[in-house]
Amino acid sequence: MTDVADAASPGAGSRALWVLVGVSVVIRAAVAYVACCLTAALIWQAVHHGIGVVLSGTAWAGAVLLALSAAGTVRSARRLCRGLRATGAVAREVKARSLEAKAVDPAVCDAAVGAGLAGRVRVIEAAAPFAFTYGLLRPQAVVSSGLAAVAAPGELSAVLVHECAHVRGHDPLKALVAATLTARHFAFPLLDQLRETFAADRELAADRRAVAHCGTRAVAGALLKAAGTPRWAAMAPAAAMGGRDLLEARIAQLEKGRPPRPARPAPRRVAVTVVGVAAYSWALTGSAVLIAATPLACMGS
């Protein structure tokens, strides 16, 4: 059997996430470095040269840079707040639906112990068969009573080994970070491709972990019986066993024994990203020229 610690080994998903974080930090640092004096430069130019200065190319570049930065900040803040609210709502729903310990099927407890999730599994009352991982700082796995009733012991173990990969990888938290960063840098839709690559790879890696522990047949059975995330949990940054978005890729991996190739970026994403890079380059260059032409204490002038 594969050791459970292997779930944390870096893969395409981890690389995609770190590239997303790195690119985001570089973009943010470049914008912050220029924007720290940009507002003061625009005000100084307007005061000393009249409001008509805003019609100059460099002033327009500075205004565009500030507008893009403000819009990105608002979008990322909204996405973060939405994710936090959704996570809280899911936690309350799980608490309200959780079965008492004495009512939980012993097979679920045994499977949780075998998967390394003792004390980290909540069984909730729901007829639909599903399982998912939720929680940002201390993630937990959720299994519906409907899934516990229809899944064979091996399939139930496969479900919880799969969810263990998400729990130990803190995937809900990482998913929220990735969504917040892509919302912040909306001018570069190729970054969203990295977020999707991360999400897909984590699901496929969790399936490979389950196959190594429980076998292909158990994982295939669990995948077909789990209906996906319930509607009340769909908005939270949660990882779901049986989510329909990646079903085709996950089945292909089970059939071929290896993960499918990542999808190529859509031409529209590439084109919009090129335009976004050009816009930011023009805005940063014009802003730097404007600041250099303005006597500001922050620039040592």
17-52 pLDDT tens trace: 999 999 999 988 888 777 777 766 666 666 666 655
Distance CA 211, CA 165 (A): 12
Distance CA 21, CA 133 (A): 23
**Helix or strand (DSSP H, E) at 110:** helix 106-115
pTM of the model: 0.86
Q: Are strands 131-134 and 239-241 parallel, antiparallel or unpaired?
A: antiparallel
Mean pLDDT of 92-104: 93
Query: Could you give the percent of the chain with pLDDT greater than 90?
Result: 60
178-234 pLDDT tens trace: 999 999 999 999 999 999 999 999 999 999 999 999 999 999 999 988 877 888 888
In contact, 107 and 101? CB cutoff 8 Å: no
**Confidence band, pLDDT 50/70/90 cuts, at residue 177:** very high
Domain regions of the chain by residue span: 4-299
* C-alpha dist (Å) from residue 76 to 71, 72, 122: 9, 6, 31
**Helix or strand (DSSP H, E) at 92:** helix 57-97
256-265 pLDDT tens trace: 988 988 888 9
Distance CA 48, CA 26 (A): 33
- Environment class of 11 (CB within 10 Å of its CB; exposed 0-12, middle 13-18, buried 19+): middle
**Confidence band, pLDDT 50/70/90 cuts, at residue 6:** very low
Mean pLDDT of 279-288: 87
Q: Where do we find the tokens 């077909």? A: 224
Distance CA 43, CA 45 (A): 5
